[in-house]
Structure 1
């Protein structure tokens, strides 16, 4: 569509046809502004590229204004992004980086909320069953502040996934915590607590001291939180397709958190602080097996509610 043809169109006609037009040619700055406004009124996310003073109104109106490094000072001040290398392929890389950041934020939210929801249900379920508290206040703080913090931060450095750029743009008002993520958090919390509450109930029915029981539950929560972060590394593929060395900060933080967890159980000053009891190898093997079982349960839930839904319905 040329500028002369565009000049004959009413704003309503332009709005109705703008999504169908592939190319605009020989348009003046005022017409560029009208095109941007029409696209935005149709709910589109609009990027505008330009370099001259006359492009400033359209650059400012667009959702993101982009100029090259040689653009005028007025255009640069109006724009949101300046391509210092003047290479438009950089825009694609910027979109990819933005999508990766958004996805990593979702992964961190999924990890932290799943872990917190699991702890809430465990403690609440214990109170409903009229059982003692499964962990002490100091132990729950240790899990949340010491065990979860470093893996949660490292999860933000997860590299981009190849499938990410093949997906259509998400809706403009799509929240970080969408319906699928809420379902996944809820199901993860319920499935893990079936195991943890069952373990806690069985320990309380035995002849075990509360000091020992709370240590077992403390270690179980710590190990589960470290296994959960593995499942949160991708919402598009199962864990056996991960590259274990793709995110070295995450791998290192998990190992470091595991060392801290062991120290909390065996290091005498931490034993006194956290009221923990030295466990034997049998308990550790059992709890590690429980963590692996929980991880497999999460992977099954993730496949049912996320991966299969993406492949069949393209929900996201």
Structure 2
């Protein structure tokens, strides 16, 4: 038989298990907190939230916060639908309460759309109340006189609630401000004008309407620092001079190569002419032999020719300049 003590332990354990399951699916204390706060919600609705996989501990505190802030138009079904869509219920309610206290027009539909778009709607409301300062990276620009300026600016922006959905972010603002700074400095005749009047950059950039299509409204653009960089104009002139020098050297090398080719061609022609002379001189002995055979040339004539050749060779040798040879030192 089962002892009474064991039965008592089974009953106590079963009762505890029943209470745990009951308070899990029927959050009684959460319902009591809602009733005390003036939020009208039933235990059946809390049980059905559990069935729909909607945590009551997120929906009910949001409803209490909205009710205490005077936002009675927000319903439980809207909060549940936003949670099931993947939104952040707490941030949306915080943003609506902050917007209401700051007299900023923000509807529940707009807040949920901003949240589902991936933006922090509560932070956006805070930026509408307290503008944010964005520091731009160093912007390099060159004035007309060729001097480079390195500029840093601070952009004060305020979130535009109506353009948060589909509006561009901070990166677009920084890119447009950098473009405006480059254009403003590039239109200056001298870098000295920019250094004397840095506020001219802010005026030019602000008049361009750089916040169009973005989720922000630009309040001011302040130049934080301007430094003088490289002399780009001088570097470009040096590069151009080097390029011109290289071109001139290439043309000179081309003319030298053509002259060398022409010289080699003339040498080849001279060698060809010498070859023809040697070829013609080779025919002389043959002609003399034919003259001997035919009787047109006698032995005395041949001797006279040799004497003339010897005399000519002697004259040429005498006419040649004597090469100066170094004198030998006299030895004692």
TM-score, length basis structure 2? 0.28
Structure with the larger RCO, 1 or 2 (CA within 8 Å, 6+ apart): 1
Larger Rg: 2
TM-score, length basis structure 1? 0.29
More strand by share: 2
